[in-house]
Every structure is written in C-alpha cells, then in structure tokens.
Structure 1
Amino acid sequence: MEESFRAHALNNKLNGSCWKFIPVYSDGIWNLEDGENIFRHTLLRLYVQLALIFILTSFMHFALKRIHLPRIISEILVGIILGPSLIGHFLPNVSEILFPPQSEKIMSSLTSFGYIFFIFLIGVKMDMKLITKSTKREWYISGFLMINMILVTICAVQIKNAMDPEENSRDWISFFAGTLMLTSFPVVACFLIDLKIINSELGHIALSTALVADLMSVFVVNFYDYARIMVDASFRAGIKSIVLSLALLVFISTALKQLMVWIIRRTPEGKPVKSGYIVSIVFLVMVVAIIGDNVGLQYLYGPFIFGLTVPTGPPLASSLVEKLDTIVSGLFLPLMATYCGYKSNLWELNQTLPHSLAFIMSFGLIMKAIAVFVPAIWFKVGYRDAVALMLILSAKGIVELGTFAINSQIKQTFDSGQFTMAVVAILTMATIVPLLVGKLHDPLKIYPGYQLRNILHSSKNDGLRVLVCTHRQEEALAAVRLLNISNPTRESPLFVFGLYLKALVGRSSTTQLINHQLDQKASKFDQNRHWKQPIINVFKYFKSENPINVNLQVFSAISPPKLMHEDICWVAFDKAVSLIILPFHRKWNVKGELVSDSDALRNLNTKILNNAPSSVGILLDRSQISGPSIFMSPSIYNVAVLYMGGEDDMEALAYARRMAGSSKVHLTVIEFVAPDNFQNTSKWKDMLEYKFLNGVKSEDEMSGQENMLYREVIVRDGADTAAAIQSIGDKYDLVMVGCRHRDDSPITSGLSCELPELGPMADLFASSDITSPVSVLVIQQQLFQDSFSEKSIRL
C-alpha cells in the first residue's frame, strides 16, 4: 500500500515540482530504521506541536493572569518563543526538527478551518436586538468610528500614492491602517467577558456600539471589494458578483432561517438540540463558505450571515455554542494566535518601520479616541467611564490577527517584517488596554448604570415595564392582583415579563433561560412542568383579560441558587424594566399564622436589591387571610402610601399615582411629619421632594379626583409611628412604602428593624402583631453608580 502511494505521488506534478511521499502515521518507536527521524511523520509531529504549544501556553497564562492579562497574550508570546524570534534564531536545529517548513501548511489549514467556525459562532452569539435597543448614543459613536476609519484609510492611501513605487510597504500601509481602525464586536465581547463587566451599563454601551460599528464596516468593506472587482476585472463581473452574493444572502435569510425555526419547534422545552441537527448545521456552514467564495463574497461572510439567522438563546443557539465553542475557542483560536506569533520575526522589525506608519497610527488612534470620548461625554457618561469606553473600543485581538493571517496566506500583501509589525501592534494594545480599563472601571458596579429605569422618571406614554419573579403559583396570583390594579391602558400599557424561578439541584451547574414564546414542544421528561405550567397559565389568563392593554412574555430560569440573582438582573437589564416585583420570604395561612420562612429566598431578595438595574418591589402578600381568591377583587380597592420622604417613598408614590388613574382604586397618601419640622440635610433633595409632594397635594390633582385623599399625621418618635401604622392595617387592601429612610429622622427613632431589606416602617407589617389581610409593597428606587456601594443592604 505504501509503495503504491509513493508511486502515485511521484507521478503527479504541481507547478513543475514533484510531490514527495509524506509519511503520516508512524510505525512505532521500535520499528525505526537507523538514523530515521521520528518527527518526519506528520501526524506524530502535529501531536507533539499541539502538546508543546498548550503546555507552554498554560504555564505562561498561569503567570500572566495574576496581572489580569487575557489568554491571547500568552498564546502570542508562546508563538514568538517557538518561532524564528527565539528558538528558531538561537536553536535552529531544534526548530528544524519540531517546526519544519512543510508543517506550516498543516497549521495554516487548521487555523483557517477553525476561523470559519469562529466567524459562524460570532454570528450565533450576536443579538441583533441590540441594534433596535441601541440609543442615539451608540449610533452616534458608531457613526463617528466609521467616519474615522474611512478618513484614516483615505489618508493612508494618499501617503501610499506619494511613496516611492519601489517601496515594498506601499500596499501594506493602507491595509494595516484600515484594519487597526476597525472596531470588532467579538474582540470587544471577549474583552468584556475577561474583565467580568459584560453585563454592566458600560459593557452594554460597548457591545451595542461595537455591533453597529462592526456591521457598518462589513457593508463598507464589501462595497469596496465589489468596486475593486469592477475596476480590476469588468463592470459586468462586478454586477454579477453582487447579484449572486445577494441571492446567497436571501437563501440564507429565508430557507436556512426557516430550517432553524423548524429545528427549534422539533426540540422539546428544556432539552438540548439533537446531535444530528448540529452535524447538519456544521455541514451547511462549510457549504455556505464554499458557495460564498465562488460568487465573489469573502468566504467568511457566508458563515457569518448564517450565524446571524440562528434565533438567539436556547435551545438552538445555546446548543451550537455548547457543542462548537469548546473546540473552536479551546483549540483552533489558540492555535491561530500561536501561529501568528510563530510567523513573526522580531529581528526584522528595524527594517520595516517607515515614519509614515508612525504618523498614521498616531493620527488614527487620536481621532478614534476623540470619536468615542466626545459623544460619550455629550450623552452624560462619566469621564472615567468615557475613557474606559474609548479604550475598550480600541481593543485588538483574535479577529485582527485572523485578518492579517488570512491576508498574508491568500493575498500576500506584506512580507514577514511587516506581518511582525502588525502582530506586535496587536500584542501591545491587547496588553495595555485591560490594565488601564481595570484601573478606570469598578467591576463591582455591574448593573447600576446611567440610564433612568424607574417609575418616577418613566414616561406615561411609554407604558410601564415590569418583571415579575415567582417560585410558586400563589406568588404569581399575588403579583397579578397587583398588576391588575396598575391601570393598564391603551395609552400607557403594561409590559409584563413573567419569570418562573427554579433552583437547580444536584451536581449540574449549567443554567437555563427558557423562552416560552418560541412555540416549542412540551417535554414528557420535564420534571418542572408540573410546577411551572400553572404559573404560566396565571400570566396567560391575565393577558386574556387585558388583550389590548397588556403585553406579556413568560420565561423560566433554572439555575443554582447562588447564581439566580444574576438571571433576574440580566433579564431586567435586557428588557429595560422599570420595576422588579419579588415575593417576600415569609408566607401566612388563612388564619394569619406564619407557615414558612425561607432564608434562601431572603438572601436572593437581598442580592437583587443590591445589584438590580431598576427599582425593586418586595410584595408581602396577606390576601389569603381574607379567604381564597384568584382574580376576584373588591369593586373598590383601597391603597395607602406611607410617606416620610426620600427617593424610595417618591418612587412608591409615583407607582400609586399611576394606580389612581383607575376609578376602582382609592388612594390615600399619609405623610408622617415631625412636630419640630425636621429638615433634610440636603436642601436640593428637600426642594425636589417638596415640589413632588406639593403636586400630589395640589388642588388640581386632589380636588379634581374623588378617589385621591391626602392626610398628614404628626408623630413625635418611632413609638407614635408604630401606633399609627398598626391602626391603619384594617382600612386598606394594599399599603405601599419606601424601603430606605433618613437615619436621623425622629419619625423612625427607636424603631427596631429585624429585616433591613424592608426598612423600619415596612418591618412593622412583617411582625406577628399584624393579622389583618393587608398586603404591603416595599419599594426601593433604582440604585445608581454613585450611590451603589454606600447604599447596599447587608443582612
């Protein structure tokens, strides 16, 4: 067999040179002939190369991760060590044995193959809803970044035309400048994940901006490629390429997208996608890449568009990421980074550093900094975070490395020294940026951000967005009763996001977020269906009773208890809700007796209060004391707001004023006032509160509505406050109160607070002394970045 292969190889010629027989498999160390090199067998040599690369990378990353450097730094440095810069220069014989020139083709093929699937996974991980959610801030920054890239590229082309035609860096300099000015979405996303700030407000701004800028650059680059075809080949060839490319994109976005939807509908809820479907999609990725390359579209863009057509989230996108991400991110991408480091040669740097390049890099980086910093400051981003955003959007990584590597293999735009310059530039930026961002941005401030996501500052015309978290059916019923009196109207609808929470027990740590709007099959083996379906039915019934004024989406979050608050905060952040409604950790029976007290639920509520990106309401439900009731409510619903000042009380009153828009809600605002006219230490806050409360007491609002009433109660100390609160319990169906109050106020002096997550006033309603069927909603207004650390609640 071996002789036939050898004869076949010798009889085939390519470009005038004979193919030599390449031994792939080794017969074993004991069957070696005298003087035979075991590393001449390609498969064994590849195994040794991979083992050496990953062992050295692991040791390098173990040392560098202590200073918070990303793994790609270690991978590039290992390639530089193994390449002609170190081992190839000082130990050429060893380099010839381990990394002979013929092995580069195998490495190159592996990296190109892996890069195709990396680009596909980029499309899968991209949430296109980020574009619709992007504000003017992200669009302005993206537009300035695109203009900056075009201007720098034009400047580089002008410098190129002015250079000596014999200068070997003419073609390279414009390509180098344009590539470094790009803003890559996957690089930014990986960077934010490494810094653990991807779910922060700053991370959200960076992701949205990078996505919009990346898609803009894809359009501009393809437009430039088609223009070059028209110029270099013919106008007809360019039009033909455009038509065939558009036909491929239409096929991907219609036929293949419908295939993805069909796969999702065939997959039971909570179950992974079958392996056969995954294999078929992998095959289609390669087919799309080949077709795209043959119709004039870059072979990477076909898989990228295909990835964008995959519906975001579980089950399909999450299964593809789970199946492919390990080998792509764990094998192919590290191999590409190491290969780029290996191909560079630091000894050739001094020969390829024209002054024009230094000017272009300096000019481009300064202009890019201005393009990000100025719009960020204009849109009220803090100075430190504006600088951090500028650095994040300037980050370079695997995408830029892949662009240079693919270009050097196919188009051969630049030589070894110029390629080394590109690798060094990426390595430098990838090292400096995370260190500076880590100093500028506090990673503890994840969800509290810059945008106002609360009821007080929300527009009535935009409606009210509420996230309702439930563990059991009775909690969903209590929340729906509250939503039912929240006055949903056509002009100001309710956007309700129901989230069923289930603790993940056992050894598994994989979280699931199931979207029940995807019309998936019900799984016969779903152990949670007995519990979650009644909860889903409660929300659906509420929607059926309010088909026009209520928009509903229901999800299930299955995660370990210690990570459950992250699921809640992320859904609230992603859906831009103004209020999160949480169930209280204590439950009472129809006799008013305490029947359960969950420490796990209390810890969860406390974590959410400290990290939520919006206002939070904890609902103490005592409605069962008055007897069983599902959606039946009295014809008149009496609501009271206990007001003593502060942003939380203002938030509670803002919610109550929305309720009072319904004729079946009677609202009473009870303001507790100290006899000595206690004043707040902040005159500005006192002025705002006075103006807000004065609007409630004004003749236009109170006298014109019979269902609103204002009362003033004078109390000397906490004892008077407690007596006044106990006396009003039987008069109202719902009492609303803020969580945080002034520590030095005489109104709360002397009040003990067993449950700090409720505050001193609401804590009285959770005691065993209250047996009336009054429910209580305790509200904490949205925390902001400047107040996050000092107002956190500790148990």
Structure 2
Amino acid sequence: MLVETIATFGLMFFLFSVGVKMDTGMMVVPERKAMAISISVTFFTLALTSLLSVVLKKCVTMDASLAQSLTFIAASQCLTPFPNIACLLTELKILNTDLGRLAISSAMFCDILGISLTAVGFALAHNTDGSADGSVQTSVLACLSIIAFLVAIVYVIRPVVLWILRRTPEGEPHFVLGPLIFGLAVPDGPPLGSALTTKLDSLVTGLLYPTYLTVSGLQTNIFKINFQSSWIVFAMVFFASLVKIGAVILPACCSNMSVREAIIVGLMLNARGICELMVYNLWKKGNILNDQEFALAVISVIGVTAIITPLIRYLYDPSKLHVPTKRRTIQQARRDPELRIMHFFSSSLLAGPPPVLVAHQSQHQPQRTLETSNSWSNHIINALRQYELQNKGCASVQSFSCIAHFNTMHEDIYRVANDQTSTILIVPFHKQWAIDGSIGSVNRAIRTMNIKILDTAPCSVGILVDRGILSGSLTILNNRSVYHVAVIYISGADDGEALCYGARMAKHRYVTLTVIRFLLFGCHNARERKLDNDLIDEVRYDNVGNKGFLYKEEVVRDGVGLASSIKPLENRCDLIVVGRHHQESPLLLGLDAWSECPELGVIGDMLASPDHVSTASVLVVQQQKVGAKLLAHSSKQVFNDTGRREVFG
C-alpha cells in the first residue's frame, strides 16, 4: 500500500512536470498540417477500432468480461499522448528534426482531444447510479464539474500565477487531471517553469516515475492470460496501429509529404508508454478491466514500443539529409559578390518548451524593429540589426532562434545552413576568457557539438576563439577606426580557405590584412609550392592598390622557429585567421605534442592556449569536405602518435 501511494504521488508530479514543459500555444493553435494529422489520427482510430470491437464481439466467441472491456481497450488506442512521443524521440535523438517536430505538434493537439475524451469516459465509467435519469444527470454533472475545473484553472489560477511572476524578480475530478492541467497553467520556460522542472526532474525521473512503472509491473499477472483472449486484443492493437499510420498518410497526401515520411510520422504517433499504463491502471481499479485484460493491455504497450523503435531507427536517419552534394567554400565563391556567413551563439536554458526553430523578421521586410524583450537572445538580435543598419546596402541579417538539446543541435544548424546556402559556418570555441586573461568558463557540450560539426558540416567551418574581452572589443558596434587581421599560411586546403576569407575581409575600408607565408628552409617542392603560389598570386593581384593589404614570407627551419615567428603577431593583431589542417611538414613537428584541443589544429591550438598571453582572437578555418572520398560517411580517419584524430581525403 505504501509503495502504491508513493507511485501515485510520483505520477502526479510526473504529469505536473509534463504540463509545465508543454507549450500551450502549440496545443491550442498548432500548424495546419499538425492539426489535420491530429484530427485524422484521433477520430479515424477511434471510429475504426470501435467498429472492429463490435465486429469481434459479434463474430468471435470470447469471455463476457473481455467482451465488456473490449470497447474500452479499442477506445484507448486513439490516445496519442505527448509524453510518450517526446520520450521516444528524445531517446532516438530525432526530437528536433522536421518530422520529430511535426510528430510533437500533432501529439500535443491529440492530447487536447484525448484528454477531453478520457475525461468524459471517466465520468461515464464511474457512473454507478441505477436509474436511467440518475445516470444521465450524474454524467452531465460530472462533465460540468470538469469544465468548471478547467475554467477555474485557466481564468483564475493562471492569472494569479502570472500576477505573482510579474512581481517576482527573475531568477472532485480524478487526481490525474489536476496536476496536468495545473502544470499547463504554469507558464513554461524561465523563470518559474524552468525552476520547477529543474528541481522536480531528478526526484521524479530518478525515483517516483520508476516506482509507478514497478507497481504497474507487479500488478501484471501474465499467468491469467489465455490464448484466445490474447489474439483478440493483439489483433485490435495491430489494427489500431495500422489505422494510425493510414490516418497520417491521408492528410499527408494533401500537404506535399512523401508516403515514407507519413509512415515515419505514423510510427512516431504509435508510441506507447506511461499514459496508456495510467489509463489501464485506472480502469483496473474501476473494475473495467480484470487481471487478464490488464495484463494484455500492458503487454501490448511493451510490444508496440519494442516494434516501432527499431523501425523508426531503420527508416529515418536525419544525418543523411544534410550530406553535402555541392561545393560551398569561400575559395570557390571568392568571385561572388555575396558571401553568406552563418554565426552560431548559444545560451543554456534550465528547461523550456519542446525543440523549436523560429525565424525572426525576414530580410525582405522593409520595416525591421528591435526586440523589446530583455532576454539574452534579443540583445544579440538587436546588435545584429544595428550592424545591418550601420552597413545598409552592404550587409543583411536574418536571425533564427533555436531551442534544442546540445547533442542534437547540430542538426538544426545544418538545416539552417542548407536552407540559407551558407558558405561558412562560424561556431564559438568552448572556452571563454575572463578579464584577467585566465579561462573563465568551459562548456563541454559545445566542444562535442563543434567536433560533430567539423566532421559533417555542409559548408566550410570556422571556430572562433573570442578574446574581445581582453582587448576591449566587446561589441560589433565598437567604433574602432581600424581592425587588424593576420592570416597565417603554411600549406593545404584549409590554409587556402583561411587566406580567401582574409582576402574578403581586406575589402572592408576599416580592415588591414597581413598575410604571412611560412616556408621551410631548403625545401623546394615545386608542385605543392606552385599550387600555393597560384592562389597567393591571385589574392595579391586582387589587392593591388589596397594600402591595407600586406604580404610577406618568412623562412623557418623547424617548429621552434615557426612558434617564435608567430608570437610577435599575438599582440599586434585583433584577429588571427589560420587553417585547421596543414600538409605534413617538418615545420609542425613537435608542436602537437602538447595539443589540448585537436579540433583547432596544431597552430590554432597553440594560439588559443592560455599559456600564450595574447589579446588577439583566433579564427580556425576548415574547408568544406565534398566528394566520394571526403564525405563524412566515407572519410578515412587516421590517428597519429598522439592519439589525435585527423580526417584526410
């Protein structure tokens, strides 16, 4: 009894936590495609499975108890709970994909329909009055009490909570309905929603939620099942799953979705979990299901989940959607007057709504106002818009806000980079500097994301080591007269990309560019040097007459000489641009022995090291990898003596 009480208490907290995390806007006003799928899935599944239950009761001999409960089991198949689908998609790491978002949005609207039908079903199921008039009156009063409870939550409790929030600095229905609806009334996201979910998640997911699942398992007696009853219930569940998939395909045909994508979304919406177990437990306590039917219902939940999970993994691999097929590099686009740069900023949220990708005002809108909210992201958006206004006619800015987990955020980055045909993607280094020159903070999640992006990005990539706080250049609106940029050129495709990016910067009237080419003493590799010479000569020719452009060569004997030659640049420049990979050269021998961040390459890691006292920011550039031998899925990964992974074509 004690364990069951704890389990029930845990279920209440779980439903409250789910309600806080849900975005009521997506529930009440979903996109048109999601609404069509939700209505189709809910009502087609309810109608056809109920019809099948009637046919089975008339045509198949079964126990009287099973015949009575078969209609309820059939009706339960129309439920498409948001928590089940969110948990499944999170486990499969496809929550923030296009189909994942569509499934989540559809499930949220399905929840409105499902909760309404379930509430009415409970009101009718618990009606035990013997008279017909009493039955109708009791059912109507039960439904009205639920409606009154909803109205009180929405129009009384929620305004009170919002009133409290505005004055707080930042930083008898069944028990099942109360926590969920009250959770929905609590505003999602910071400050209140985030704080609540952060404090509750460990307790709920670590103790209370597993306790409820354990109690459900203990109450499941598989030895009560007979074969005839099992095939009837399993046939019902299998039919309902097919109907859900078919109900998704129907509206998908009218919305430019492929049949394959519709089948995948249908499989996602077939996810089963704690919500079905909750309903079956309530029906068992209400004597709607006996031990045999309860066991069959629980096994059906486990069976459907075990089948659809590997099917979704097999049919849907979002990483294949972003495999590059065209060259998108600065070196290739150096003759193109337009350069599309995608810059990524990140901020950690304690908790929030489901993953979402939002495009702010389009660049084609003539009137673009500043964001008035005081959030961190709006400060960034406003700064970029101010930069656009200061450089009107020369630069245009399109801002996107994305809410996603770090382990899947690179998928959203790829999607935007592909949609905007970006030439280079710039991401932040995972370490941030304090004002005294020491490391202020380290974000391991960003480092993991950066490594994924370097491996599979659809365009060239730059990792920015920002030391602006040390030089006083904290904003793109800084009114400095001249910005000094240096490009370090040794050899290789990445150095060529860095050189071409620096050449684009040199066209700005307030930028001076110094290109330093390091040559190995006594080396005369004619073929490689000719390729490098051709690119350098072209860049020099394009900057004839540009007083802000300087090119020089330095001959060094080894890595020590290279490091000594680079050191004077560190405090004479605002930004140093360098390639990530270089061709094998004696110049680099020994420099990677103390490498801490191989994602920066040998030179980039040396420049970004806190041991090097410097105020210059560093941009490490990697050219896009395209082609059969250079694609991420077929690249050859080589580990050198230091254990550092390199990717070669």
Q: TM-score, normalised by structure 2?
A: 0.59
1:214 is displaced (CA, Å) by 2.4
* Count of residues in Structure 1 that have an aligned counterpart in Structure 2: 560
Counterpart for residue 428 of structure 2: 581
- Does residue 423 (structure 1) correspond to residue 320 (structure 2)? The answer is no
- Does residue 214 (structure 1) correspond to residue 107 (structure 2)? The answer is yes
- On the 8 A contact 2:426/2:462 being kept in 1, the answer is yes
- On the 8 A contact 1:210/1:393 being kept in 2, the answer is yes
- On the 8 A contact 2:7/2:211 being kept in 1, the answer is yes
Question: 3-state DSSP class of the match of 2:344?
Answer: strand
Question: 3-state DSSP class of the match of 2:345?
Answer: strand
Match of 1:317 among 193, 197, 212: 193
Counterpart for residue 344 of structure 2: 466
- On the 8 A contact 1:468/1:582 being kept in 2, the answer is no
Change (3 A) 1:596 1:254: same
1:411-463: CA deviation from partner (whole Å, max 9, x where unpaired) = x54443222210222244456677x5999799xx9x9896699x979xx9999
1:409 is displaced (CA, Å) by 3.4
Whole-Å Cα distance in 2 between the matches of residues 461 and 490 of structure 1? 20
Whole-Å Cα distance in 2 between the matches of residues 651 and 440 of structure 1? 39
1:752 is displaced (CA, Å) by 3.9
Whole-Å Cα distance in 2 between the matches of residues 304 and 712 of structure 1? 66
1:356-385: CA deviation from partner (whole Å, max 9, x where unpaired) = 54433334445657889999xx999xx9x9
Whole-Å Cα distance in 1 between the matches of residues 429 and 481 of structure 2? 26
1:69-98: CA deviation from partner (whole Å, max 9, x where unpaired) = xxxxxxxxxxxxxxxxxxxxxxxxxxxxxx
1:201 is displaced (CA, Å) by 4.6
Q: What amino acid does structure 2 have at the position aligned with 1:676?
A: R
Change (3 A) 1:158 1:437: closer
Q: TM-score, normalised by structure 1?
A: 0.50
Q: What amino acid does structure 1 have at the position aligned with 2:463?
A: G
Q: What amino acid does structure 2 have at the position aligned with 1:126?
A: M
Match of 2:160 among 259, 270, 276: 259
Change (3 A) 1:389 1:267: same
Change (3 A) 1:413 1:260: same
Q: What amino acid does structure 1 have at the position aligned with 2:279?
A: T
Question: 3-state DSSP class of the match of 2:427?
Answer: strand
- On the 8 A contact 1:734/1:775 being kept in 2, the answer is yes
Whole-Å Cα distance in 2 between the matches of residues 747 and 386 of structure 1? 56
Change (3 A) 1:155 1:707: farther
1:607 is displaced (CA, Å) by 4.8
- On the 8 A contact 1:156/1:360 being kept in 2, the answer is yes
Change (3 A) 1:725 1:639: same
Change (3 A) 1:127 1:791: farther
Whole-Å Cα distance in 2 between the matches of residues 723 and 428 of structure 1? 62
1:572 is displaced (CA, Å) by 8.3
Change (3 A) 1:363 1:207: same
1:403 is displaced (CA, Å) by 1.1
- Does residue 304 (structure 1) correspond to residue 200 (structure 2)? The answer is no
- Does residue 777 (structure 1) correspond to residue 619 (structure 2)? The answer is yes
- On the 8 A contact 1:469/1:583 being kept in 2, the answer is no
Question: 3-state DSSP class of the match of 2:620?
Answer: strand
Counterpart for residue 740 of structure 1: 580
1:17-70: CA deviation from partner (whole Å, max 9, x where unpaired) = xxxxxxxxxxxxxxxxxxxxxxxxxxxxx45xx3xxxxxxxxxxxxxxxxxxxx
Change (3 A) 1:369 1:141: farther
Change (3 A) 1:399 1:731: closer
Change (3 A) 1:262 1:223: closer
Whole-Å Cα distance in 2 between the matches of residues 626 and 120 of structure 1? 47
Counterpart for residue 398 of structure 1: 274
1:152 is displaced (CA, Å) by 3.7
1:732-754: CA deviation from partner (whole Å, max 9, x where unpaired) = 8454535532545x797769445
User: Aligned runs of 1:100-119 on 2, under 5 Å?
Assistant: 107=4, 115-119=11-15
- On the 8 A contact 1:640/1:735 being kept in 2, the answer is yes
Q: What amino acid does structure 2 have at the position aligned with 1:421?
A: L
Q: What amino acid does structure 2 have at the position aligned with 1:517?
A: S
- Does residue 634 (structure 1) correspond to residue 527 (structure 2)? The answer is no
Q: What amino acid does structure 2 have at the position aligned with 1:580?
A: V
User: Aligned runs of 1:375-386 on 2, under 5 Å?
Assistant: none
1:327-347: CA deviation from partner (whole Å, max 9, x where unpaired) = 655666455434444444434
- Does residue 517 (structure 1) correspond to residue 375 (structure 2)? The answer is yes
- Does residue 184 (structure 1) correspond to residue 25 (structure 2)? The answer is no
Q: What amino acid does structure 1 have at the position aligned with 2:297?
A: A
Change (3 A) 1:439 1:157: closer
Change (3 A) 1:463 1:323: same
Structure 1 unaligned spans of 5+: 1-45, 51-106, 271-289, 471-487, 497-514, 519-535, 555-565, 589-594, 681-689
Whole-Å Cα distance in 1 between the matches of residues 636 and 440 of structure 2? 24
Change (3 A) 1:597 1:317: closer
1:759 is displaced (CA, Å) by 2.0
Whole-Å Cα distance in 2 between the matches of residues 336 and 770 of structure 1? 55
- Using the TM superposition, name which of 640-649 and 399-408 deviates more: 640-649
- Using the TM superposition, name which of 709-718 and 635-644 deviates more: 709-718
Question: 3-state DSSP class of the match of 1:467?
Answer: coil
Q: Larger relative CO (CA 8 A, sep 6+): 1 or 2?
A: 2
Whole-Å Cα distance in 1 between the matches of residues 176 and 21 of structure 2? 16
Question: 3-state DSSP class of the match of 1:676?
Answer: helix
Change (3 A) 1:647 1:773: closer
Q: What amino acid does structure 1 have at the position aligned with 2:527?
A: D
- On the 8 A contact 1:464/1:494 being kept in 2, the answer is no
Whole-Å Cα distance in 2 between the matches of residues 706 and 450 of structure 1? 45
Q: What amino acid does structure 1 have at the position aligned with 2:429?
A: L
1:400 is displaced (CA, Å) by 0.9
Question: 3-state DSSP class of the match of 2:109?
Answer: helix
Change (3 A) 1:269 1:426: same
Whole-Å Cα distance in 1 between the matches of residues 203 and 614 of structure 2? 60
Question: 3-state DSSP class of the match of 1:122?
Answer: helix
User: Aligned runs of 1:250-289 on 2, under 5 Å?
Assistant: 252-253=153-154, 255-264=156-165, 267=168, 270=171
1:787 is displaced (CA, Å) by 8.1
Counterpart for residue 600 of structure 2: 758
1:675 is displaced (CA, Å) by 4.7
Q: What amino acid does structure 2 have at the position aligned with 1:220?
A: L
Whole-Å Cα distance in 2 between the matches of residues 663 and 600 of structure 1? 35
Counterpart for residue 527 of structure 2: 676
User: Aligned runs of 1:29-44 on 2, under 5 Å?
Assistant: none
Q: What amino acid does structure 2 have at the position aligned with 1:582?
A: F
- On the 8 A contact 2:271/2:304 being kept in 1, the answer is yes
1:655-681: CA deviation from partner (whole Å, max 9, x where unpaired) = 985x7896645678999998515899x
- Using the TM superposition, name which of 776-785 and 301-310 deviates more: 776-785
1:123 is displaced (CA, Å) by 0.7
Question: 3-state DSSP class of the match of 2:428?
Answer: strand
Q: What amino acid does structure 2 have at the position aligned with 1:216?
A: F
Counterpart for residue 48 of structure 2: 155
Change (3 A) 1:612 1:495: farther
Question: 3-state DSSP class of the match of 1:778?
Answer: strand
User: Aligned runs of 1:609-688 on 2, under 5 Å?
Assistant: 609-610=450-451, 617-619=463-465, 621=467, 633-639=479-485, 646=493, 664-665=510-511, 675-676=526-527
1:393 is displaced (CA, Å) by 5.6
Question: 3-state DSSP class of the match of 1:635?
Answer: coil
Change (3 A) 1:624 1:120: closer
Whole-Å Cα distance in 1 between the matches of residues 202 and 608 of structure 2? 49
1:401 is displaced (CA, Å) by 0.5
Q: What amino acid does structure 1 have at the position aligned with 2:581?
A: H
- On the 8 A contact 2:464/2:620 being kept in 1, the answer is yes
Change (3 A) 1:123 1:761: same
Please report the RMSD computed on the Cα atoms of aligned residues, expressed in angstroms: 7.0
